[in-house]
Structure 1
Amino acid sequence: MAGGKMSARQKMINLMYLVFIAMLAMNMSKEVLSAFGFMNEKLSENNISTTAKNNEAYANLAMKASEQAAKFAKLNKEAIKIKGYSADFYTYLEELKSKMTAEIEDKNDYESMDKTAFLDEHFFKGDKFTAEGQEFLDKINTYRSDVTNALGKDNKFAPILAKRFSTDDVINAETKKEIPFLNARYEGFPLVASLTSLTQMQADIKNTESDIVSDLLGGKMEEALSLNNYKGIVALDKNAYFAGEKVTGKIVLGRYDATMIPDNVTLNGRDYKNIQSGQVIIDMPAGNVGSHDIKGKIAFTQNGEVVEVPFESSYSVIPQPGDAVVSADKMNVVYRGLDNPISVSLPGVSDHNLRVSASGGKLTGGKGKYSIRPAGGSVATINVSATLSNGKSVNSKATFRIKDIPAAMGSVRGQYGTVRMPKSGLSTAPIAAGLPDFEFDLNIRVQSFKIKVPGQLTIIVNGSSLNAAAKQKLSKAKRGDIINIYGIKATANGYNLKKVLPVNIELTN
């Protein structure tokens, strides 16, 4: 029977079950058998609804563990263990119930379930237990000990588990003699009564899960509501300020509530009174160039005692800039035919307040990250302007040389120069090109090439693979011959490469 705190409904079910057990000692009527079946149905329905609630609780705890690992991760690990132990034991009981009713055609014909043979033969052999009977006892004992160990031996559920899943001998009310648990609960009982007993044990498993997970969550929630777990957060309007500017922003609690007004605030060693809707509004001179701290305490009264929540942050005061900072992401030149990435920034000014333009090429992008595609000249210029918070204007520019993409190199199977390979491999291998030491990612496509086999006429091939004519000439080559592939025409990101170096193939057979 279930122990510990139980709902009124659960107490009623348990009481009914005890009454029915007592009636078994008397005449087992058809009505009683049906009543057992009805109880089994109600318990099964209750197990389904409890399972759904437990799954929600497990999911809730898992989510909190992912969001607040320091607080809930350990509890979630305990819950996962409990869930695993419970699922294993519950499944074992469900499989045992299926075996008990396997030969019954109508599973709802409870009046026909008056035989005792199945468990009498399944659990008992003479005065001893069968292997299956001992396994049943072991399953109960293992579940009880596993759950107890997962929670710790001193946990408050230990006595509840000991009572709820006890396999101790039962004292006969009349003879006062001790009877082994298995005999007292399952020997000589009608099938429907034993079936209901196992369903009740499954209900005990589900109630155990519910009790434990609710306790794990409830304990931490109560702890989380304590003001000791609040943390002061400094939220400045920006991280760096010019000399002479005011530092602006706010200080809030980690669990911010507009109705929670602090008793007093200490900021940088002095009492501070600028408090609005639970927020400490910062408004003070920035100070000299360098790093400055913002720290103090927010005091609340909780249960008649003062609780102080500390906060701490820092900011930097930087000199006003005279020039923008402009740098090429790849190198100090820009290449014709490519979108060259350019970063533009101005200390103390947000990216969306910069005005950026270019000459000598087409500029695209924004928010500090741009690309410039050079035109036909030899120089590209990036122009930057901005208005600082004090009203001062800043203008700057950076100039870059425009160069053509370097000569590419022909390749076969990703190899350059002279490549050794069999004739059959060359026949099917595509001809490619690349720039091994170039910093840009290029999509190079070979448009055409020339192939020269010793002693044969040069063949012009359109595309990147040998055509029939080229293969026919290649078939006449011998081991050790050097096949020259040159005159390679290719594009890189749609731009015609001016030069592609040849690649030679030394035939190995």
Structure 2
Amino acid sequence: MAGGKQTARQKMINLMYLVFIAMLALNMSKEVLRAFGVMEERLTEANAASTERNEAFLQNLATKASEQPEQYAAVKQKADQVNSLGNDLTTYLEGLKGQMMKQLYDPAKNDPTDTTALKVLKDYEVQDQSDFLDGLLFKGDNLSDEGQVFIAKMDAYREGVVSLIGGDYPEIGAEINKKFSTSDVKNKDNKTQGWLQFNYELSPFIASKTKMSQIQSDVKTTETEILSKMLGSQQEAAMSFTQYNTLLEQSKSAFYANEAFDGGIVLGRKDPNTKPNRVELTLDGRPLTASQYTIENGKVKLNISAGAAGDHKIEGNLIFLQDGTQVEIPVDVTFATIAKPNAAVIAADKMNVVYRGVENPMTVSIPGIADNKVSASASNGTWTKVTGSKYNFTPSKGATVIFTANGILPDGQKISTPAEFRIKDIPRPVGSIRGETGEGACVRMQ
């Protein structure tokens, strides 16, 4: 066929052969276009699902930031910035795709009841032209104004996100630089070509649209990864063992010599960023006011008086907000107050005497037991409590009286201690003049 003069029949055969080859290429092109269309549909569905997940994630983070601002406010601020950068790029691309779709079907120009016209949106085999996007993004061999905006949007997203998170998550930063690079590329002929020309110039309509959806998908995936990393890092820091210290847990506040000690060492979380949203505590049944405590360094610090000697109980709840729900942490602790020594006790061991006919002031106490846990009684006479450990006793008949002191130890054990006193009459009064009593022989006055 290459040499000699061709007959008309031969020319016809050659022409038919060329048409056949063109038809094969056309059919292959249709298959490729349909494949791009299916891919674009799936990307659009996946992007919608990713958007919902990211929005729910941000809403959950906003709740945590309002509940625990010290711990999550900074994370939320950075997450909002990442989301804003992503929305700026994806919204721009969605606008471009919208302009492209209007070339196929414009609601303002087409009859909305014309279902035949709508079918073109799904007829990917006819979406093979590139004229519209070529005219929009390119001007000769250079980029048009819109093409420059496209590149600027890509660069702003890449540089903005990397500057926000690159130092904390360098591996994500490297991936972003790779995925969203707009640097020149090598084409199949190993010639340098601009990124936008390489990806969109002379590209079929549906292929360009699919590539834009892929960029949107990469933005959503990147945002999901960043949000997960940021929240995970914050929670990991909060749960780190550097946030714990040891506490001594014991069944009571005081123990006696040689008594078995059943205390235990436990880990207590002490996070300065963890603060209750509300404090509801009582001291011996009386509500604590805001001036009686402060919240600092991850603890509720009490500013109260130790009160009178005896056991005191602090009860109530520390209330936290978790995902919008109130969580109550119960508080039920006791502490003991003992009287501060301010005087010595001096007693004559053999002078346990009370006098008949008068009130005898008495003091009854048991070392280590608060006054409100001590009671006393007498075997005869009148026994009256004055206040605290002070009593008055008036004897009746008999030569002795037994006083019994009863006390309750901190562990609930009861003890009882008796003490015997003699009962004596008050001595008769003896008069004296100049220190001389009336005893002895009479002195005759001269």
Q: Which has the higher contact order (CA 8 A, sep 6+)?
A: 2
Structure with higher Rg: it is: 2
Structure-2-length-normalised TM-score:
0.49
More strand per residue = 1
More helix per residue = 2
Structure-1-length-normalised TM-score:
0.43
